[in-house]
Amino acid sequence: MILGWVVFAVLSVVLAPTVTATTDQADFLPNKYESIKGYELLEKAFPQQQQSGATIVFDRGDGAALTGADLAKIAEIGKGLKLGDAFGSVDAPVPSPTNQVAIVNIGLAQGVTGQDQEDLDQVADLREALGKAVDGTGLDEGVTGSLAQGYDQTQSGQNAEIIVTFATLGLIILLLGGIFRSVLIAFMPVVLVGLVSVVAGGLIAMVEKAFDLNHDPSTSVILIVVLFGIGTDYILFFLFRYREARRDGQEHRESVAYSIEHAGEAIASAGGAVFVAFMTLVLSTLGIFRSLGPSLAVAVAVTLLAALTLVPAAVTLLNRALFWPSKKWREQPTGTRFARVGASLGRHPVRYASVSGAFLLVLAVFALLFNPTFDLADSNSASDVESAQATATMEAKGFSAGATDPTPIVLHASGGTALTEDAVKTFADAIGAVDGVGQVSATTLSPTDPSTALVMTILDSDSASTRALETVKDRLRPAADQAAPEGSVAYVAGTSGVFVDFQAAMNRDYKVVFPVAALIILLILMVLLRSLVAPWYLMIAVGLGFAATLGAAVIVFQMIKGNDGLIFLLPIYIYLFVVALGTDYNILMVARLREEAREGKEPREAAAQAVRHAGPTVAAAGVILAGTFASLMLAGNSLLLTMGFAVSFGIIIAAGVMAMFFVPALTALFGHAAWWPGHSDTAPPAHPTVGADAPLEPHNDPVS
């Protein structure tokens, strides 16, 4: 089995295709949205139109205003730059109204999207050349713009991946080593999940290539956490059950078989629920989630398969060496802490259900104050990177925040009717009067298609800010529709237009993806538990956990830290990791509770014993998974900081409140009714046992 996995990993590496990542959010939107329609027309009617690639920001080192000699030197520097093939023409320097700063815009070369790593890497060469060019001139310089921001974001992502990987591995080694006091178990997830990640990475690349899915660079960081987080959890599920069997006197191989039978059911059910939750993202209209969902689902499927095959094989092979150097693993634990909690819960289920439910409900109320923000540039890069500093300098010294990222409006007449210059000018004048539009910088009729014109605008706020989105959605698009000449349509594109459409697509996804995922998980729980009652309060608990997690993030970042809002992707990420992965702990606890009930225990006693025996597993798994997601907070950008806190806190809630207290207390209160109509809490019919004392009887039935 182990050899088969090694071969599988080698083949995955050899056969995996190369997949190019993209940071352009427009690549993730379908073409039914206005911004994408505008870009498609722009590409056809203005093939010579260069997208903005980079903006060089010049100011004096002594803080004085730029002189005529300074502007001449800046123009000389711009003309003398040796640019890579990703860049196009270099514009003349444009001073700010205060003469405190000047910008030089550089376009992208024809056919360059600015998303390939080779293009992004040319930013480093540009910055190095500029540093030499301004030496001794008294000028300071900084490079911002789309290509520079993309480069800084990629560098930040690579740094985040390194930090998160080492933090995750270190945390897993320390926690597992402390729990089991075993060297081999401490390093087991590093080796086994490392092997699984190689297989998963190859299969994910094949899936993305086969179905033409876009690949977001943040996926790599998330995959590290998911693979090692749930992989370690499933290893824990198996090892705790294996150690319990050995302590009860079972032999080594019997204990492995016993653990596969008992822990395997919970692992398979939990993994199946997580797989389905991730796969429902294919229903999203956004390509970022249609690609992320299958990628995570493949990772979970491979991890689940490894938990049921590779992990038992490794445990079987290691045998007595597994727990080395610990000698206390054979001793029955006193279990006083979890035994006391379980006994108390069994005696007072109303108290535990009320307190834990009230805690979740109070936090959930704050989720109503969630204010989404679409400022991905701020969220994906640290404030001390060059592109962010250059933008701040430009804005502080007289330029509009939208100057580096103009908003194009494409005017198109139906039926091929030619647009006149007067009609386009009248349209542009109406656009210039819109509140939030700083200026109309250019109007151009297409040289190849007289029915299409381009009106370039500059917003007076950053194109990714909430104000810019409000300008486009509430004022600019309605004004453009009204001012468009008869028989023509106006499409507002640009970053702001893309994010407005992104918001509409997200709102649609919330109404489709969440309900479908909840329904499918509910059906899985009904099949697993053979009950129509327990799955409902399990789903209610999961919903409360989701809202409580979002509410906690609102309290910390909006109310305490004072942020204007939280990144709009946060609810989806909470759904992915808190709802999907948090369901694991509920399933593990309920499966153990049912097992205790099948042994003849009454509902309250079964709940008490389930907390006693499954509590340590849930607690350890929750701490490890929460810790791996908390490592994202070390990545150095606000998106991963927010996501790391929210998801780790949500997992602590899922494991330490829902699975440990809320769900077993409710199950104890419902009693036998929780398992209606399947009554799966009763002992199953006895079957003849095959063993030394029960020889196998011959069967004449040909089917047998």
The arithmetic mean of pLDDT across residues 522-534, rounded, is: 85
Domain chopping of the chain, boundaries: 48-151, 394-499
Q: So what's the pLDDT on residue 699?
A: 38
Quote the CA–CA distance of 255 and 249 in Å, as a whole number.
9
Q: So what's the pLDDT on residue 689?
A: 41
Helix crossing, 534-553 with 638-653: angle to 10°?
140
Residue 568's closest CA among 704, 347, 371?
A: 371
Token representation of residue 261: 């039978």
Contacts of 407 (CB under 8 A, 6+ apart): 456, 457, 458, 459, 463, 472, 476, 492, 493, 494, 495, 496, 497
Domain over 394-499 is classified CATH 3.40.50.2300 = no
The arithmetic mean of pLDDT across residues 64-73, rounded, is: 91
Q: So what's the pLDDT on residue 690?
A: 39
- What is the distance, to the nearest Å, from the Cα of residue 248 to the centroid of all Cα atoms in its chain? 42
Token representation of residue 497: 């237009």
Q: CB atoms < 10 A from the CB of 498, how many?
A: 28
In 3-state terms the chain splits into helix, strand, coil percentages (rounded to 5) of 65, 10, 25
The arithmetic mean of pLDDT across residues 88-102, rounded, is: 85
Longest dimension (CA), the chain: 104
DSSP letter assigned to residue 26: G
DSSP 517-570: HHHHHHHHHHHHHTBSSHHHHHHHHHHHHHHHHHHHHIIIIIIIS--S-EETTH
> Residue 704: is it exposed, middle or buried by C-beta count within 10 angstroms (0-12/13-18/19+)?
exposed
**Residue 685 pLDDT > 70:** no
- pLDDT: is 457 or 29 the higher one? 457
pLDDT grade, residue 219 (50/70/90)?
low
The arithmetic mean of pLDDT across residues 137-149, rounded, is: 85
Quote the CA–CA distance of 485 and 431 in Å, as a whole number.
13
Quote the CA–CA distance of 373 and 391 in Å, as a whole number.
19
**Residue 580 pLDDT > 80:** no
pLDDT grade, residue 94 (50/70/90)?
confident
Among the residue ranges 159-173, 371-385, 399-413, 554-568, the one predicted with the least confidence is 371-385
**Residue 426 pLDDT > 50:** yes
Among the residue ranges 140-144, 422-426, 510-514, 695-699, the one predicted with the least confidence is 695-699
**Residue 698 pLDDT > 50:** no
**Residue 633 pLDDT > 60:** yes
Total residues belonging to the chain: 704
Token representation of residue 639: 């998106």
Quote the CA–CA distance of 342 and 616 in Å, as a whole number.
11
pLDDT grade, residue 701 (50/70/90)?
very low
Does a cis peptide bond (omega within 30 degrees of 0) precede residue 485? Answer: no
Q: What does the pLDDT look like over 329-370, one tens digit per residue?
A: 777 666 578 889 999 999 999 999 999 999 999 999 999 999
What SS3 class is residue 267?
A: helix
- pLDDT: is 692 or 67 the higher one? 67
Quote the CA–CA distance of 468 and 465 in Å, as a whole number.
5
**Residue 374 pLDDT > 80:** no
Q: So what's the pLDDT on residue 223?
A: 79
pLDDT grade, residue 379 (50/70/90)?
very low
> In one letter, which amino acid is 242?
Y
Q: What does the pLDDT look like over 74-83, one tens digit per residue?
A: 999 988 888 8
Q: So what's the pLDDT on residue 290?
A: 78
The arithmetic mean of pLDDT across residues 210-215, rounded, is: 67
pLDDT grade, residue 217 (50/70/90)?
low
Among the residue ranges 152-166, 615-629, 649-663, the one predicted with the least confidence is 152-166
Quote the CA–CA distance of 2 and 309 in Å, as a whole number.
9
The arithmetic mean of pLDDT across residues 223-237, rounded, is: 83
The arithmetic mean of pLDDT across residues 570-589, rounded, is: 80
Q: So what's the pLDDT on residue 114?
A: 59
What SS3 class is residue 130?
A: helix
Q: What does the pLDDT look like over 106-136, one tens digit per residue?
A: 877 766 655 566 777 888 888 888 988 988 8
Quote the CA–CA distance of 621 and 216 in Å, as a whole number.
28
Among the residue ranges 44-53, 75-84, 152-161, 264-273, the one predicted with the least confidence is 152-161
- pLDDT: is 704 or 581 the higher one? 581
Domain over 48-151 is classified CATH 3.40.50.300 = no
Mean pLDDT of the chain: 83
Quote the CA–CA distance of 645 and 557 in Å, as a whole number.
10
Q: State the Rg of the chain over Cα.
A: 30
Q: So what's the pLDDT on residue 692?
A: 40
**Residue 212 pLDDT > 90:** no
Quote the CA–CA distance of 327 and 648 in Å, as a whole number.
33
Phi-psi region of 382 (alpha: psi -120 to 50; beta: other; left: phi over 0): beta
Quote the CA–CA distance of 242 and 248 in Å, as a whole number.
10
Contact at 8 Å (CB) between 140 and 63? Answer: no
What SS3 class is residue 697?
A: coil
Residue 152's closest CA among 392, 376, 387, 402?
A: 387
**What predicted TM-score, i.e. pTM, was given to this entire model?**
0.75
Quote the CA–CA distance of 190 and 244 in Å, as a whole number.
23
Residue 464's closest CA among 634, 638, 287, 289?
A: 638
For the four alpha carbons of 81, 85, 91 and 94, in that order, the dihedral sign comes to: negative
The arithmetic mean of pLDDT across residues 3-10, rounded, is: 91
Quote the CA–CA distance of 632 and 360 in Å, as a whole number.
24
Residue 403's closest CA among 443, 429, 438?
A: 438
Collect contacts of 439-445 with beta carbons under 8 A, ≥24 apart. Answer: 439/400, 441/406, 444/46, 445/419, 445/421
Helix crossing, 663-670 with 603-630: angle to 10°?
160
Among the residue ranges 273-277, 446-450, 601-605, 670-674, the one predicted with the least confidence is 273-277
**Residue 608 pLDDT > 50:** yes
Q: So what's the pLDDT on residue 351?
A: 94
Q: So what's the pLDDT on residue 694?
A: 40
Q: So what's the pLDDT on residue 324?
A: 85
The arithmetic mean of pLDDT across residues 419-433, rounded, is: 92
The arithmetic mean of pLDDT across residues 232-255, rounded, is: 88
What SS3 class is residue 339?
A: helix
- pLDDT: is 566 or 330 the higher one? 566
pLDDT grade, residue 308 (50/70/90)?
very high
Q: So what's the pLDDT on residue 697?
A: 41
Quote the CA–CA distance of 478 and 495 in Å, as a whole number.
17
Contact at 8 Å (CB) between 294 and 279? Answer: yes
Contact at 8 Å (CB) between 572 and 283? Answer: no
Q: What does the pLDDT look like over 472-507, one tens digit per residue?
A: 999 999 999 999 998 999 999 988 898 899 888 888
pLDDT grade, residue 650 (50/70/90)?
very high
Quote the CA–CA distance of 142 and 450 in Å, as a whole number.
39
The arithmetic mean of pLDDT across residues 507-515, rounded, is: 84
The arithmetic mean of pLDDT across residues 260-267, rounded, is: 84
> In one letter, which amino acid is 304?
L
Residue 545's closest CA among 664, 655, 669?
A: 655
Quote the CA–CA distance of 660 and 666 in Å, as a whole number.
11
| H/E segment holding residue 457 | strand 452-459
Would you say the CATH fold of 394-499 matches that of 48-151?
Answer: yes
pLDDT grade, residue 700 (50/70/90)?
very low
What SS3 class is residue 60?
A: strand
